């Protein structure tokens, strides 16, 4: 605010100087006031008047500009608390959408998926695996893509595929083997389950799809691990 006040003062001083110059010009006899207008007498051309008018105008501009600037700096209001910034429009959120969002925020529970594994379909799981194929191969000794090959993944130690040299520190830090429970939590919400891991995948939110995926992953093996009881 201090700097704004100073610039207002400067603007005022500038305007005052311009007026003084104008008055001394009058006293020198170059100008005479006729009503409210000015007439040039003598040999003085109009550039001097223009110069003064320009100085007064720009002084006013600076003064108004400083006022506006001070409003911007002080938060854009007129000093009263009611002038809070308001959103230009409000996004309509229906009760249904709000409920879906709330449901997604309910913590994932493996106990909801576990009973589905007995009847889950590996064929459906193969179909549900479609988005994963962009980054993972599943054939034995398949090559690494953006992510590691997943043959034999169930029951194997986390982040242990020798053919994939780019595991994140986060995934390497997640010790243990890929149990159904660990895999379910990871595929449901990779970021939440292992914070900082590098799999750019939002997660499988549907429990039936997740169960199908888990039994499909289990088939990618010479000796599939047992389903959990
Ligand atoms: C955009 C690419 C991408 C997609 C899509 C993707 N993943 Fe991944 N996945 C990765 C990457 C990269 C890693 C390694 C992450 C790390 O090191 O942090 C990974 C790691 C994994 C791992 C751990 C591997 C190990 O050796 O421990 C599993 C299991 C996995 N993904 C399964 C899936 C499944 C199932 C899907 C589909 C539902 C999927 N991924 C979709 C990129 C992807």
Is residue 163 within 8 Å of residue 148, measured between CB atoms?
A: yes
Closest to 161 measured CA to CA, from 183, 180, 137, 182: 137
pLDDT in tens, the chain (229 residues): 445 555 555 655 555 565 566 555 555 555 444 444 544 445 556 766 677 667 767 766 666 666 565 565 555 545 455 666 666 766 666 665 555 555 556 789 999 999 999 999 999 999 999 999 999 999 999 999 999 999 999 999 999 999 999 999 999 999 899 999 999 999 999 999 999 999 999 999 999 999 999 999 999 999 999 999 8
Q: Which two tokens stand for residue 102?
A: 């709330």
- CB neighbours of 204 closer than 8 A, spacing ≥ 6? 128, 187, 188, 210, 213
Whether ligand 1 lies within 6 angstroms of the CB of 218 is answered as: no
Q: Calculate ∠ Cα 12-18-21, nearest 5°.
A: 140
Specify the residue with its C-alpha closest to ligand 1, atom 1.
Answer: 200
Q: Rg of the chain over CA atoms, in angstroms?
A: 38
Query: Alpha-carbon distance 202 to 104, whole Å?
Result: 12
Q: What does pTM read for this prediction?
A: 0.63
The string over 120-138, giving b where at least 16 C-beta atoms fall within 10 Å of a residue's C-beta and e elsewhere, is bebebbbebbeebeeebbb
The CATH number for 109-219, chosen from 1.10.760.10, 3.90.1300.10, 1.10.10.10, 3.30.450.40, is 1.10.760.10
Whether ligand 1 lies within 6 angstroms of the CB of 204 is answered as: yes
The string over 208-227, giving b where at least 16 C-beta atoms fall within 10 Å of a residue's C-beta and e elsewhere, is ebbbbbbbbbbebeeeebee
Whether ligand 1 lies within 6 angstroms of the CB of 170 is answered as: yes
Q: How many CA atoms lie within 13 A of 209 on its CB side?
A: 11
Whether ligand 1 lies within 6 angstroms of the CB of 147 is answered as: yes
Closest to 219 measured CA to CA, from 149, 126, 148, 144: 126
**Every domain of the chain and the residues it spans:** 2-73, 109-219
CA end-to-end distance (rounded Å), the chain: 71
- CB neighbours of 122 closer than 8 A, spacing ≥ 6? 212, 215, 216, 218, 219
Q: How far is the CA of 124 from the centre of ligand 1 (A)?
A: 19
Q: Which atom of ligand 1 has the smallest separation from the CA of 183?
A: 29
């Amino acid at each position: 605010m201090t700097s704004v006040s100073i610039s207002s003062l400067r603007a005022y001083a500038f305007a005052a100087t311009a007026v003084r110059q104008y008055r001394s010009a009058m006293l020198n006899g170059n100008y005479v006031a006729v009503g409210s207008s000015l007439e040039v007498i003598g040999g003085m051309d109009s550039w001097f008047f223009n110069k003064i008018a320009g100085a007064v105008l720009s002084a006013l501009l600076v003064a108004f500009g400083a006022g506006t600037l001070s409003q911007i700096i002080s938060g854009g209001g007129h000093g009263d608390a009611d002038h809070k910034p308001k959103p230009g429009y409000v996004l309509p959120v229906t009760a249904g959408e709000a409920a879906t969002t709330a449901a997604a925020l309910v913590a994932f529970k493996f106990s909801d998926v576990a009973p589905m594994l007995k009847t889950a379909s590996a064929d459906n799981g193969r179909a549900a695996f479609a988005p994963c194929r962009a980054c993972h191969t599943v054939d034995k000794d398949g090559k690494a893509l953006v992510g590691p090959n997943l043959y034999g993944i169930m029951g194997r130690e986390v982040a242990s595929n020798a053919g994939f040299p780019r595991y994140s520190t986060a995934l390497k830090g997640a010790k243990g083997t890929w149990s159904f429970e660990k895999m379910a939590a990871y595929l449901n919400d990779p970021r939440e389950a292992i914070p900082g891991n590098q799999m750019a995948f939002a997660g499988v939110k549907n429990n039936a799809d997740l169960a199908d995926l888990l039994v499909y992953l289990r088939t990618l093996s010479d000796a599939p691990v047992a389903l959990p009881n």
